[in-house]
Structure formats: C-alpha cells, structure tokens
Structure 1
Amino acid sequence: MSLAKPFNTRPLYQQVADEFVSRIINRTWAPGQLIENEAEIARSLGISLGTVRKAFDILTENKLLERHQGKGTIVVDFEGDKMRSRFSNIADRSGNRVSGEVVIGEVDLVLPRPDVVERLQVNERTPVLAFERRRTHLGRLFMVEDVFLRVPSHPSTMGADEMRRLASAGWTGQDIATYKIEKIGSTLASETDRQAYGLGGETALLTLDRVIYSYQNRALELRIARCDLGDDLDYQAD
C-alpha cells in the first residue's frame, strides 16, 4: 500500500498518521476496537516500525488512540459521553465535565456572515449549517448556542433530513476534532434569553466563543454560547 501522494512533502510518519485518522473516520477502525500491533501494521504498509510508532504517538497525543500495557492499542470512542464533553469547561459541583442534554432547533443552510467566514476559514460563497443548540442539565437549561458547522462538498444537494443528521452528528460525522480555542466574556441577557432561562430584570450571562478544530488544524465548528450556570454549575478553565 502506498501512502505517499504526488508533491506531498510532509514526513512519512505524518502521512501514516493521516491514514490512521481516515480509518477512524470511515470506521475501518471502529470506536473501542483493539487494532493490530505496530509490527503487523508496519509489515502491511511496507514501512518501518519506527514510522508506525511515531504515527501512533501523534494519535495518542491527540487522544484518538489509547495504549494499554499488556493489552494493546484501542481506538477511543470519540462519540461517547466522555469524549463529547471534553470540549466543555462547564462542570458540576463534583468537578465532572457537563455537556448536557441537547436539543437542536431549526437547521438552515446559509451563506456565512463575515465573522463566520473568518472564524471557520471558509469562502464567503460556501454555505454552512446554522442552527441553535440548547443544553440542559438535570432538566434545567444552562446554555443556548448559535452554531455554524462546516458541511461536506456539494451542500446544495442535501435535503432537510441530511442537514438535520449532520447538525445532530456535528463534526463527528465528517472529521475528528482534537482541540478548541475558546474565549469567555459576559453580556446582559436579552429579552429572548430572559424568556428562555426564566430570568427577571437585568441579568448577566456568561458568553463562550469557541472554535473546534480538527486533527489537521482545520476549523470545523463555531459555537457562540450564552450561559446561565445557576448555583449548580461552574466554569473551569483548562
């Protein structure tokens, strides 16, 4: 199997890591799967054991693989509750990260406004999915997010069902996210926010401006959130 592509000047171990990420995305390596050992993979690809180990190191550092002494290497379940909440800095009183129960509003395919173009690094004529995402914890609404999501090629062919599926899957349906860049702030609750959260008078809300990035540093999703953490939740910096 040849991994190298014409004019690809990236080190071979990075190309191998890209191949492994592709296997995880397309489920050739399924979440929770125990994969073959490094020596077997090296033989099957016709490359050195050291190259495979460097590629495994990259995926382990990005929390896509887990090495277990005496057991082998396992693909992380990046769709599980633990991995879904890893981009959340909201925690309960026990310190557990909280991603909440999610409800998605109406999903539209729109041309991105200038700030979305800049943050998602997309062309202004490239449609993105736009929708509202609400998160609750123990039945209480604590976050309302305006979400802008990259979509696959040829988005004009997507129907309503496919758009909603992608909105529900988020970046997990297209790529693997490994880190976020987040800015925090505050704002006064709008009338819409006060109605949503059941607030009275002038109330300050925590704001979170987050961009989720892929393994290859590609912006996948922009989240602009307004949060009412109440007495049972806290924001914990990384």
Structure 2
Amino acid sequence: MPDLETRLAARPLYLQVRDVLVQRIIVGHWKPGATLPNETQLAQQLGISIGTVRKALDLMEVERIVTRRQGRGTFVNDYASAETTFPFSMFHDSEGQRISGHKRGRSISRVQASVEEAARLGVRRGDELIRVERLRDHLDQTFMTEVCLLPAKFFTRLPEDFGSYRLSALAQLNSILVGRADERVDIALATAQSASDLGVAEGTPLLRLDRVIFSDHEDPLEWRVALCFMRNERYLVRFN
C-alpha cells in the first residue's frame, strides 16, 4: 500500500488496513462467501507486518464482516443469508422456535423528512425518505404492523420485491455494510387502524418496537416502528 506508513499519525495502521479490506469487499473485489488471501499474502500485498494484518482481521471478525476458521481461512460473511443477519426480530413461539413471519407490503412512498424523522435518521428536514408500510403474519394471523423509513440517498438500487425487503440484503445491494442497532421497547395502545390490522379491540395494549439500524460508519440506515400483539408468541432476547 503506497505511503501507508506515512499516515500513521492520523489513524492507527490496523484501522487503515481494515478500511482498505472493507472497501475491497464493498466494491465486489471479494464477494460474499469468498476466501480472503491468507495473512502472509495480505501483508506482502500491503507492504506491512503480518501482526498488523492479523489485528485488522480480528477487528473485522468482531464486526461480523468476516469469519475466520482455523485451518480453512478467512471468509467474507454473506449479510443476506439467515446465518449472519443480525436477529433484529426476536419473536419466538411457545416452543422457542424463532418466528420471522410472512411480510406483506401495504404501501411504498417517497416522503420529505419531518423534524423528528430527520433527527432520528441523521438527515435534514425535507430530505427524501423511502417509507414502507407492511404487515407480518404468523399462522394466518397478523401479529405485527411496521412503518419503515430509509434515507433515499443511501438506497439508489431497489429490488423488485422492495415491499418485503430485508435490510441486510438491501444494504449489500447498495454496497453498504450493516453495523449496530439501537432498539427501544415500550407499550402503546391500539389505535383504530392498528386494532383493525391486528384483530384486537381499540385501546388494547401493544408491544411497540422502535429500532434504528446503522451502517458500519454509524450512518442511520433505517428507522422502523413496529406494533405487535402477542398471542402465543414471546419476545426473546438471547445474549451470547
């Protein structure tokens, strides 16, 4: 990597290496599931020590960008697969099996960000947002309504079945890496609309999930508010 050593004072070398490797993944140099060159090869390519490469790869594994397997190599994670997508949906049935539900798109529109929306999504008031409203069904009953807002500037490429998008796959399509999520959980009373959607009486207490998902660069990618009525399901958070 030309002149990499001269930039040490501005940013630790292993973080610079991490950024270079991530950029190669983003632009498609290494596809999801691909094996990265080994540490010795990467060190030679970049003109740095193996220890620095190892530290960068260790960080990328913590960030879930790659998976390292002893004796087999380092693999790019596929963020569109069920195995590596962050479990933002925590619903489980009475036997402990995870429920994702069947998504049904209700509407897709482009709107201008309100003051609150701009604050939550890190954009300016009036900036274009993509708004998606959808329902989730389980055992032929609707158990969740969702309103999702995404900054249009990040998502110029949209799949044909956008109404049922999964953020990890959508981000991958737009060369973005998904990072962390902040989630708030509280109780809301069913309005006339949500009561009709969920098949409950108006005023019924509902579980409200308020989630903002960020990129690996801390840009808010999606603000989602879901209203849920729990019948035989439960909301389970599992810590590893």
Alignment TM-score, normalising by the size of structure 1: 0.84
Q: Which residue of 1 aligns with 2:128?
A: 127
Q: Which residue of 1 aligns with 2:82?
A: 81
Q: Which residue of 1 aligns with 2:192?
A: 191
For 1:170-229, what per-residue CA distance to the aligned partner results, in whole angstroms no more than 9, with x for missing partners?
A: 433331112111110111111111211122353111001111011122211111111112
Cα distance change of structure 1 residues 96 and 45 upon mapping to structure 2, 3 Å threshold: farther
Please give the alpha-carbon distance, in whole angstroms, between the structure 1 residues aligned to 2:125 and 2:32.
Answer: 35
Alignment TM-score, normalising by the size of structure 2: 0.84
Please give the alpha-carbon distance, in whole angstroms, between the structure 1 residues aligned to 2:35 and 2:7.
Answer: 32
Following TM superposition, by how much is the alpha carbon of 1:91 offset from its aligned partner in structure 2, in angstroms? 2.5
| 1:81 counterpart SS class | coil
Please give the alpha-carbon distance, in whole angstroms, between the structure 2 residues aligned to 1:213 and 1:73.
Answer: 25
For 1:50-103, what per-residue CA distance to the aligned partner results, in whole angstroms no more than 9, with x for missing partners?
A: 221121111100112111111111111210123335222223334344333323
RMSD between aligned residues: 2.8
Matched, 1:218 2:212: no
For 1:129-178, what per-residue CA distance to the aligned partner results, in whole angstroms no more than 9, with x for missing partners?
A: 1111322334432221111112336x8xx6xx948666635433331112
Contact 2:105 2:135 in 1 (8 A): yes
Letter in 1 for 2:173: G
Please give the alpha-carbon distance, in whole angstroms, between the structure 2 residues aligned to 1:12 and 1:184.
Answer: 39
Cα distance change of structure 1 residues 8 and 211 upon mapping to structure 2, 3 Å threshold: farther
Q: Which residue of 2 aligns with 1:200?
A: 201
Number of matched pairs: 233
Contact 1:3 1:15 in 2 (8 A): no
Contact 2:94 2:232 in 1 (8 A): no
| 1:35 counterpart SS class | coil
Q: Percent identity?
A: 32
| Unaligned stretches of 5+ residues in structure 2 | none
| Unaligned stretches of 5+ residues in structure 1 | none
More displaced 10-residue stretch of structure 1: 13-22 or 113-122: 13-22
Q: Which residue of 1 aligns with 2:48?
A: 47
| 1:83 counterpart SS class | coil
Q: Which residue of 1 aligns with 2:37?
A: 36
Q: Which residue of 2 aligns with 1:114?
A: 115
Matched, 1:173 2:173: yes
| 2:19 counterpart SS class | helix
